[in-house]
């Protein structure tokens, strides 16, 4: 890494804070470590970060509130929660507050490093893709701003907003398995809870649109027990 990626780490257990900081620094990251929510927000306002890691239960202002405050002005920076709270309600609360990832204690440092690298890589890839307005799959081009699918022969299919959002999410995360939880958070924004069948139906529709052979998809794949993956068919 020519420029060090910067991480803001908030954790009130001193030994854990030091262990995480040391391991991240050994990976080549610059780490700014704080032990409470007030300090985290102060440092966040003064410096620029590529990733924010927040323990939930800390003094002054808890991790959920810190995330909420950051998200009011920055929807792009990846946020990861570290917490001993591991119920699905807690996970949903964390994701609602704008988290990109959620790791429960006790955790394996190697797994933390892996997730950190993935989040930073994804956010850097996101910078390149943020302005993505169209994308070609086979003989069809998706226009994200106008919710249209144009065929090379000139025919146009109207896409729904949800179809367009899901296509954009899968394309931005090309070659990565995207979990149902992430789809739920990004596309449905927790307004409603679609069943797995609902998301499956979207994937079936995409196969109808794009796949030369729907039974042997080359673009839109279901990953059993995880979610879905888009590949461009040429890689």
Both ends of the chain: CA-CA distance in Å?
26
Phi, psi of 21 (to 5 degrees): -55, -50
Whole-number pLDDT of residue 3 = 64
Per-residue pLDDT of the chain (235 residues; tens, 9 = 90+): 346 789 999 999 999 999 999 999 999 999 999 999 999 999 998 888 899 999 888 888 888 899 989 988 887 889 999 888 767 777 777 777 778 888 888 888 888 998 998 888 877 765 555 556 889 999 999 998 899 999 999 899 999 988 998 999 899 888 888 888 778 777 876 555 556 678 889 999 999 999 999 999 999 999 888 889 999 865 4
The model's pTM is: 0.55
Structure tokens at 109: 């440092």
What pLDDT, on the 0 to 100 scale, is given for residue 232?
Answer: 85
And the tokens for 107? 């955790």
Q: Torsions phi, psi of 194, nearest 5?
A: -70, 150
Residue with tokens 């144009």: 150
DSSP code string of 28-77: T-EEEEESSHHHHHHHHHHS--SEEEEESS-SSS-HHHHHHHHHHH-SSS
User: Could you tell me the domains of the chain?
Assistant: 6-129 (3.40.50.2300), 134-230 (1.10.10.10)
Which pLDDT belongs to residue 189?
64
pLDDT at position 39 is: 92
Burial (Cβ within 10 Å: 0-12, 13-18, ≥19) of residue 76: exposed
CA distance 106 to 84: 7
Phi and psi at residue 12, to the nearest 5°: -95, -5
The pLDDT value recorded for residue 1 is 36
In terms of phi and psi (left: phi > 0; alpha: psi -120 to 50; beta: otherwise), the region of 191 is: alpha
DSSP 8-state class, residue 134: E
> What pLDDT is attached to residue 97?
78
């Amino acid at each position: 890494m020519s420029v060090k990626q910067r991480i803001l780490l908030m954790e009130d257990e001193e030994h854990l804070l030091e262990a995480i900081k040391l391991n991240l620094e050994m990976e080549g990251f610059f780490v700014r470590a704080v032990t409470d929510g007030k300090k985290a927000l102060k440092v966040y306002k003064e410096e620029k970060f590529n990733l924010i890691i927040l323990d939930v239960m800390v003094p002054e202002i808890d991790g959920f509130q810190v995330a909420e405050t950051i998200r009011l002005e920055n929807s792009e920076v990846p946020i990861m929660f570290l917490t001993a709270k591991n119920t699905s309600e807690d996970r949903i609360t964390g994701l609602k507050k704008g988290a990109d990832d959620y790791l429960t204690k006790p955790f394996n440092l190697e797994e933390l490093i892996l997730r950190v690298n993935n989040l930073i890589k994804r956010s850097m890839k996101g910078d390149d893709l943020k302005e993505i307005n169209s994308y070609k799959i086979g003989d069809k081009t998706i226009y994200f701003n106008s919710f249209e699918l144009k065929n090379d022969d000139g025919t146009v299919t109207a896409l729904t907003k949800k179809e367009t959002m899901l296509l954009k999410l899968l394309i931005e995360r090309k070659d990565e398995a995207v979990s149902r939880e992430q789809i739920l958070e990004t596309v449905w924004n927790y307004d409603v809870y679609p069943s797995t069948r609902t998301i499956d139906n979207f994937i079936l529709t995409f196969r109808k649109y794009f796949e030369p052979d729907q039974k042997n998809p080359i673009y839109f794949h279901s990953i059993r027990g995880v979610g879905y993956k888009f590949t461009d068919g040429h890689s």
